[in-house]
């Protein structure tokens, strides 16, 4: 017998494939698929860890090395996980080693995982049936549809506060009662302590939590516990989709539109929603839910690939908030140069005096986001990146939000020497300063990357808001996500324009989602809510559709546009980023690569765009150019996209 293995940390392409080893007699009846083993590899004496992917009796013609040792008592991977790794390799073009790494717990050492350390837990907590709410008519309908299982997966398109979470809880109870297990994906665990407590309240210690801030040892323990069938419900961010639960019956993806479900940075670059659907392809159920579904999922639902379920009303008496647009051009004309319009100011004042609370969204942190010379127009940019520096009030420094460089504020213009340096562009600190000078006595909380760095960062700020020590909460998009404060009756959006003019085909979608999610924070309780959106473009179509709650029209218009352009969900995009320290070389490489794309573009089935300078053309001293390729068939596009890069880099090394 022989076994085929994948070597761990096989970063180079040449060794990211199956290698055959012989099985020495003493290990013959112990080795099985999914085992971790030790092997020697190549000429060096170094010992590597490898994973047994296959066992075969076909002897290759060349001489084989034996496997040296089996590491764990039981296989660390099962067949389903190996199949999942194959999916990651084929679907995302990831390496085998990276795919297995995503599935396995982090930082496994070359010694056996100590399984005896895992305390024997038994479920002693009963399901707390009393806490379950009686579903209203709309909820009941959705719940029944899901139960009938006409589809394998469903989109619940339900406005904020319509009771989606309550439906999850009911479906979960059924799944648990059948002896099956559940994975719940949430966008940002730090922001969802509230959701978590609702799950704990119903299911007690059957619920486990995983996130990036818990330690490595704990994550390894969770992995083993899951495999041993000792976890019934796990809640976590996108990586939790790999949790090897036994008898998995349901995966819920809450706020499915959230960008965090796609991993862009590290390999494998995967989409947790697709992984969820793949894991449940044979049996089991996937529920995707959002008040602002992503276009991909919405389109799947509308074309009957998955079930479409809608919730149109808020629970109880809560009504959707009224929405006003404030034209900031007029505001300026009439002499108000402040960051807050008069209308928003008056509303804040009134709401606070009635003992209610306010949330304000400004999607930029810092104080001023743009510093330039009045005399010559020179803009102070980062030395390493092609972005303007942001002024931070408290530290009195200029910071780059891309490479995190810090500089002091120049006294005179570095270009012309004039002392007329002016600060433009508003960030969270500017708004906070305004609020402090007008509403200090009510207590003001600020939530952005600068205030939430510590472990307890988020929860402290949210806690004081909940306990009404603070009554205004200003923050970046962090405040738009999922919070349920019933005393918030006013939501202000300081600038709706920030994301509207991004050079990205998703700019409209992002703006629509951010605004709709944020305004969903107002009036969730018994009190009616009001939303004020400040903008320099009140006539913009997206803002008008948000204002009039024409969600279906927005999706229809946007889908038509995407179809014309061949953008997702109608086509697929393959992006190549070419980076390097010497701009000329980057540009040359980009053009060279394009020639390969043109050459191999048979029947012109792919649309090649670029090369163009990326939106941020330099980060950390590396210039950035990009080529975008659009094609209908995903697999063909992936193969073509990668093939040309390989061909090109065989001749030239510069491509990064
Ligand atoms: P969503 O997840 O759609 O934002 P939630 O499930 O959080 O909505 O529900 C919003 C609020 O309404 C919550 O406070 C929840 O406890 C309450 N709620 C949900 N369903 C019901 C129901 N059937 N009866 C009474 N209250 C409900
Ligand atoms: Zn100047
Ligand atoms: Zn920088």
Q: Which residues, at least 6 apart from 111, have a Cβ–Cβ distance to it below 8 Å?
A: 71
CB-based contact 567:630 (threshold 8 Å): yes
Two tokens, residue 117 = 């350390």
Stated as kind and residue range, the H or E segment containing 224 is helix 216-227
* Tens of pLDDT, residues 287-323: 999 999 999 999 999 999 999 999 999 887 788 899 9
* Ligand 1 atom showing the smallest separation from residue 254 Cα: 2
Question: Is 10 a residue whose pLDDT tops 70?
Answer: no
Q: How far is the CA of 399 from the centre of ligand 3 (A)?
A: 8
Nearest one of 346, 311, 608 to 492, comparing CA atoms: 346
By percentage, how much of the chain surpasses pLDDT 90? 64
Architecture, CATH, for domain 129-311: 3-Layer(aba) Sandwich (3.40)
Q: How confident is the model at residue 493 (pLDDT cuts 50, 70, 90)?
A: very high
The bridge status of strand 530-535 relative to strand 322-327 is: parallel
Residues pairing with 432 in the sheet? none
In this structure, are residues 208 and 222 in contact, taking their beta carbons and an 8 Å threshold?
yes
CA dihedral over 534, 538, 540, 542, signed as positive or negative: positive
Helix (H, G, I), strand (E, B) or coil at 327: strand
Q: How is domain 2-103 classified at the architecture level of CATH? A: 3-Layer(aba) Sandwich (3.40)
Question: pLDDT value at position 123?
Answer: 61
3-class secondary structure per residue, 488-527: EEEEEECCCCCCCCCCCCCHHHHHHHHHHHHHCCCCCCCC
Work out whether strand 181-185 and strand 47-56 pair parallel, antiparallel, or are unpaired.
unpaired
- Chain-centroid distance, C-alpha 225: 26
Residue 483 banded pLDDT, cuts 50, 70, 90: confident
Ligand 1: atom nearest CA of 167 is 6
Residues within a 6 A CB radius of ligand 1: 133-136, 139, 158, 160-166, 315-316, 484
- Asked if the model's pLDDT at residue 23 lies above 50, the reply is yes
Residue 116 has pLDDT above 60, yes or no: no
Intervals of CATH 3.30.70 along the chain: 572-651
Sequence-distant (6+) residues with CB within 8 A of 475 are 359, 360, 361, 362, 428, 445, 446, 447, 448
In the structure, what pLDDT confidence band is assigned to residue 108 with cuts at 50, 70 and 90?
confident
If you measure from the C-alpha of residue 614 to the centroid of ligand 2, how many angstroms do you get, rounded to a whole number? 27
pLDDT digits (tens, 9 = 90+) for 585-632: 999 999 999 999 999 998 899 999 999 998 889 999 999 999 999 999
Pocket perturbation via mutation, ligand 1, pick of 157, 163, 253 by most ligand atoms within 8 A of CB: 163
Q: 297 is written with which tokens?
A: 């999922």
Per-residue tokens: 169: 């809880």
Dihedral sign for Cα atoms in the order 425, 431, 437, 438: positive
Mutating to test ligand 1, I would choose from 143, 165, 171, 516 the residue with most ligand atoms within 8 A of its C-beta, which is 165
User: Residues 88, 93, 96, 101: is their CA dihedral positive or negative?
Assistant: negative
**Ligand 2 is an ion; residues with CB less than 5 A from it:** 373, 375-376, 378, 413, 415-416, 418
How many angstroms is it from 293 CA to the middle of ligand 1? Answer: 19
What is the spatial distance between Cα 296 and Cα 277, in angstroms, rounded to a whole number? Answer: 13
Tokens of 237: 């961010």
Ligand (nearest to CA of 381): 3
Nearest to 94 by CA among 266, 231, 254, 216: 266
User: Which of 166, 184, 518 to mutate for ligand 1's pocket (most ligand atoms within 8 Å of CB)?
Assistant: 166
| Nearest alpha carbon to residue 71 among 43, 47, 97 | 47
CA separation (Å) from 193 to 188, 199, 415, 461, 488? Answer: 10, 10, 49, 12, 18
Q: With 50 as the cut, is the pLDDT of residue 445 above it?
A: yes
333: helix, strand or coil: helix
Q: Would you say 309 and 582 are in contact if contact means Cβ atoms under 8 Å apart?
A: no
Q: In angstroms, what is the span from residue 235 Cα to ligand 1's centroid?
A: 19
Lowest mean pLDDT across 101-105, 288-292, 433-437: 101-105
pLDDT at 13 over 70: no
Q: What is the CATH number of domain 322-369+425-560?
A: 3.40.50.300
Among 219-228, 248-257, 380-389, 449-458, top mean pLDDT goes to 248-257
Q: What is the mean pLDDT of the chain?
A: 90
Give me ligand 1 centre to Cα 524, in Å: 9
**Ligand 1, atom 25: closest residue by C-alpha:** 133
Q: pLDDT value at position 12?
A: 65
List pLDDT tens digits, range 63-95. 889 999 999 888 999 999 999 999 999 888 888
Range(s) within the chain of domains with CATH label 3.40.50.300: 129-311, 322-369+425-560
Measured in Å, residue 617 CA sits from the centre of ligand 3 at: 11
Confidence of residue 190 (pLDDT cuts 50, 70, 90): low
Distance CA 271, CA 286 (A): 14
Domain 572-651 in CATH 3.30.70:
yes
DSSP string, 454-476: STTHHHHHHHHHHTTS--EEEES
pLDDT of residue 538: 93
Q: Whose Cα sits closest to atom 27 in ligand 1?
A: 315
Task: Tell me the pLDDT band of 114, cut-offs 50, 70 and 90.
Answer: low
Is the predicted pLDDT of residue 340 greater than 70, yes or no? yes
């Amino acid at each position: 017998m022989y076994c085929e293995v994948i070597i761990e940390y096989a970063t180079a392409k040449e060794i990211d494939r199956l290698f055959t080893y012989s099985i020495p007699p003493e290990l013959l009846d112990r080795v099985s698929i999914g085992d971790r083993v030790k092997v020697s590899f190549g000429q060096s004496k170094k010992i590597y860890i490898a994973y047994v992917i296959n066992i075969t009796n076909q002897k290759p013609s060349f001489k084989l090395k034996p496997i040296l040792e089996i590491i764990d008592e039981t296989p660390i991977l099962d067949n389903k996980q190996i199949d999942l790794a194959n999916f990651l390799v084929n679907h995302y073009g990831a390496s085998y080693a990276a795919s297995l790494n995503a599935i396995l717990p982090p930082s496994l050492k070359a010694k056996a995982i100590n399984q005896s350390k895992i305390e024997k837990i038994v479920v002693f907590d009963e399901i707390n049936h009393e806490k379950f709410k009686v579903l209203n008519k709309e909820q009941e309908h959705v719940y029944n549809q899901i139960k009938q299982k006409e589809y394998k997966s469903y989109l619940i398109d339900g406005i904020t506060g319509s009771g989606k979470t309550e439906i999850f809880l009911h479906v979960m109870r059924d799944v648990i009662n059948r002896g099956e297990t559940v994975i719940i994906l949430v966008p940002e665990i730090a922001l969802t302590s509230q959701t978590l407590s609702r799950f704990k309240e119903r299911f007690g210690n059957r619920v486990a939590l995983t996130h990036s801030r818990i330690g490595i040892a704990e994550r390894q323990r969770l992995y083993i516990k899951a495999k041993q069938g000792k976890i019934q419900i796990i809640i976590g961010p996108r990586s939790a989709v790999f949790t090897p639960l036994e008898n998995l019956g349901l995966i819920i993806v809450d706020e499915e539109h959230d960008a965090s479900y796609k991993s862009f940075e590290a390999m494998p670059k995967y989409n947790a929603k697709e992984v969820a659907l793949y894991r449940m392809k044979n049996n089991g159920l996937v529920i995707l839910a959002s008040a602002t579904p992503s276009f991909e999922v919405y389109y799947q639902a509308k074309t009957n690939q998955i079930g479409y379920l809608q919730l149109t009303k808020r629970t109880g008496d809560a009504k959707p908030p009224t929405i006003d647009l404030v034209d900031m051009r007029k505001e300026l004309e009439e002499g108000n140069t402040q960051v807050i319009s008069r209308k928003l100011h008056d509303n804040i004042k009134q709401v606070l005096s009635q003992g209610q609370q306010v949330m304000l969204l400004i999607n930029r942190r810092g104080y001023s986001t743009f510093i330039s010379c009045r005399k010559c127009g020179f803009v102070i940019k980062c030395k390493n990146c092609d972005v303007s520096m942001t002024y931070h009030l408290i530290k009195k420094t200029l910071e780059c939000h891309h490479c995190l460089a810090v500089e002091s504020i120049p006294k005179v213009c570095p270009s012309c020497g004039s002392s007329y340096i002016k600060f433009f562009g508003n960030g969270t600190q500017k708004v906070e300063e305004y609020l402090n000078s007008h509403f200090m006595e009510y207590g003001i909380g600020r939530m952005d990357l600068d205030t939430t760095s510590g472990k307890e960062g988020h929860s402290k700020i949210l806690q004081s808001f909940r306990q009404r020590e603070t009554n205004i909460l200003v923050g970046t998009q962090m405040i738009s996500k999922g919070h349920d404060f019933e005393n918030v009756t006013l939501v202000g959006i300081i600038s709706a324009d920030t994301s509207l003019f991004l050079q990205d085909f998703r700019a409209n979608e992002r703006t629509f989602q951010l605004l709709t999610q944020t305004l969903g924070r107002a009036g969730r309780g018994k009190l009616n809510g009001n939303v004020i959106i400040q903008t320099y473009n009140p006539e913009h179509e997206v803002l008008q559709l948000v204002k009039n709650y024409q969600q279906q029209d927005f999706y229809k218009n946007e889908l038509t546009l995407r179809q014309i352009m061949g953008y997702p969900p109608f086509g697929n995009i393959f992006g190549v980023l070419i980076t390097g320290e010497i701009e000329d070389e980057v540009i040359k490489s980009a053009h060279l690569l394009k020639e390969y794309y043109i050459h191999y573009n048979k029947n012109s089935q792919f649309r090649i765009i670029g090369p163009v300078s990326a939106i941020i053309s330099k980060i950390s001293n590396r210039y950035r150019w990009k080529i975008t390729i659009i094609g209908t068939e995903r697999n063909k596009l992936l193969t073509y996209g990668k093939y040309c890069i390989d061909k090109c880099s065989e001749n030239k090394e510069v491509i990064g």
